[in-house]
Chains A and B, each alone.
Chain A
Amino acid sequence: MAFYNKIIKKSIWVFHVSASPCNNCDIEILDLITPGYDVERFGIKLVGSVRHADVLLVTGVVSYKVAPRIKQLYEQAAKPLFVIGIGTCTAGGATFKTSYNKAGIPLENVIPVNAYVTGCPPKPEAMIDGVLKLLGTLK
């Protein structure tokens, strides 16, 4: 595990899944890889399959229709996989707290979670900070 943690800190590959969000956090995540923030210079890269990913970013209130798919995605991924909930929706539900179609408020109800970055939407700086803080806790 220590060996893996040493390697993962160098370059993390991220997979992003939108689980019934309002799109805003997703757009801000995409904003991270465009010239404004350009996280690829830190070695952070968005990948096309969860099987390649080290970190899974989940956005939104997980609806009942999406929840089984999110579980499936988590099971498909190579472990260890770090899960970060992006946005207040994953942590506390924001305005959707009283919704009838929520399976994951908080996201822990669906899959294990390592960290939350809250905000509606969190600023891209906050997302980078969240990922780096999570990696800082690894030994």
Chain B
Amino acid sequence: MSKCRIPLGPFHPLLEEAEFFDIKVEGEKVVDIEMETGWMHRGHEKISETKSYTQSIFLVERICGICSTSHPFAAAHAMEDVDNVEIPERAQYIRIFIGEMERIHSHLLWLGLAGHFIGYDTLWMWAWKYREPVLQIFEKVSGNRNHYAMFRVGGVSRDFDNALIPEIHPTLDMLEKKMLMIAGAAQDDPVLRSRLKGVGVLTKEAAINYCATGPTARASGVDIDVRRDDGLEYDLVDFPVRVLHNGDVYDKLVVRVLEIIDSVNIVRQCLEAFPKVGGEYLNKVKHISPGEGIGRYEAPRGEVFHYIRSDGSNRPLRHKVRAPSFSNIPTYKASCVGIPLADALITLAAVDPCYCCTERSIRVVDKNNKKLEHNLLTMSREKTANLKKAVAGSEKTPIDRIFED
């Protein structure tokens, strides 16, 4: 049977962000999938080099609007790692509180969109209805519904108001009840089960080979969670790491629903701790000494990694960002191939891809000769080769000869 090519995107009503999928099908079966990114590139890493450390945190917050705490969390870890800055205990609890509330709203958002993709618009509306009180809590705590601007090097930028605790508890109770309801509905509903069970399976081997992280990996039986593995703030609270073994879309849904309930419990532990733990919430850092630092955090989608190199000035010399979707998106190659086209969309959505997070590099296209597409590495290598010919007069320079010996 001849192959047929189905282009999807970049501006498609189903896709929230601009991305381009090139799906090749034989009959109804997906045989290959390619994707093109780069639509959302804004040059964060370069802008970050022109901003001070405190400003950088506000900048990395705007890498992604959905997980807008995970990037500052990891960036702050990286900046603190240079000097081993100690964080006050109250600040640690506030960080956990913000991070877990964000996990709740991000997973609810995914749950809604997943429902929308498989034709359960009611689930979409309900999930987003439960998400709204979470955003209102954020507005009370930080002053903004999204982009909370809570993080600073050495702590948090504003204190948590203990008077808000009685207002937050009813929302948490409601969320736990509704999540148990959705978990029960997912188990009982025969249509939802047959639509998601066994669809888009990512085996454990494939998950490890593609370096999948976060719920995508945990649904495939890979036991990783940066919150538990790195510890740091999260040593203060108890939580289980949910690992399921089938690797299909259904398990990814169940992992996320269970994680919402776990996050609710972590937030409850924080709320219990707030009245007991007083004192400072910011350990003011005046200067970051020369050196390197890395920071990791378990974002709702997986592991966020930030690298900072400091030369002792008030600006980072290099700021590298690796988002979870960067390693999760290529798992499409393993999970989408061989399934019917109608299941491809929910499989694409199941890893909760975030393209805004991912797009850190740019490809340069030669305008005069459009067939030639260089990437920066090839350009750099070609320039070296040309220089070798021009300067040394041959393709081999003294360095090459040393390596030959």
Contacts and interface: CB of A to CB of B under 8 A. Distances in A.
A23 B356 contact: yes
Given A28-B146, A101-B41, A35 B17 contact: no
A65 B41 CA distance: 9
Interface stretch (A3-11, A92-100, A108-116, A127-135): A92-100
B145 A123 contact: yes
Contacts of B147: 24, 120-121
A80 to B, nearest CB: 21
A65 B39 contact: yes
A22 B65 contact: yes
A22 B64 contact: yes
A34 B40 contact: no
Nearest to A63: B41
Contacts of B47: 95-96, 98-99
Size category of the B interface is: 35 or more
Contacts of B38: 65
A136 interface: no
Contact of A23 (B11, B125, B354, B362): B354
Given A69-B10, A120-B147, A121-B65, A20 B128 contact: no
Max chain A Cβ within 10 angstroms of own Cβ: one of B10, B42, B59, B132:
B42
A61 interface: yes
A101 B42 contact: yes
Contacts of A63: 39-42
Contacts of A17: 11
A30 B16 contact: yes
Given A24-B68, A26-B16, A99 B128 contact: no
Size category of the A interface is: 35 or more
B13 interface: yes
B43 interface: yes
B39 A20 contact: yes
A19 B18 contact: yes
A39 interface: no
B18 A20 contact: yes
B66 interface: yes
A48 B42 CA distance: 26
B375 to A, nearest CB: 15
Max chain A Cβ within 10 angstroms of own Cβ: one of B40, B46, B59, B63:
B40
B42 A31 contact: no
A27 B65 contact: yes
A34 B129 contact: yes
Interface in A55-79: 60-61, 63, 65-66, 69, 73
A96 B295 CA distance: 23
Interface of B: 10-11, 13, 16-18, 38-43, 46-47, 50-51, 55, 58-59, 62-66, 68, 109, 112, 124-125, 128-129, 132, 145-147, 354, 356, 362
10 tightest A-B contacts by CB? A24-B65, A34-B128, A48-B13, A36-B132, A23-B65, A35-B129, A22-B65, A20-B40, A99-B43, A22-B62
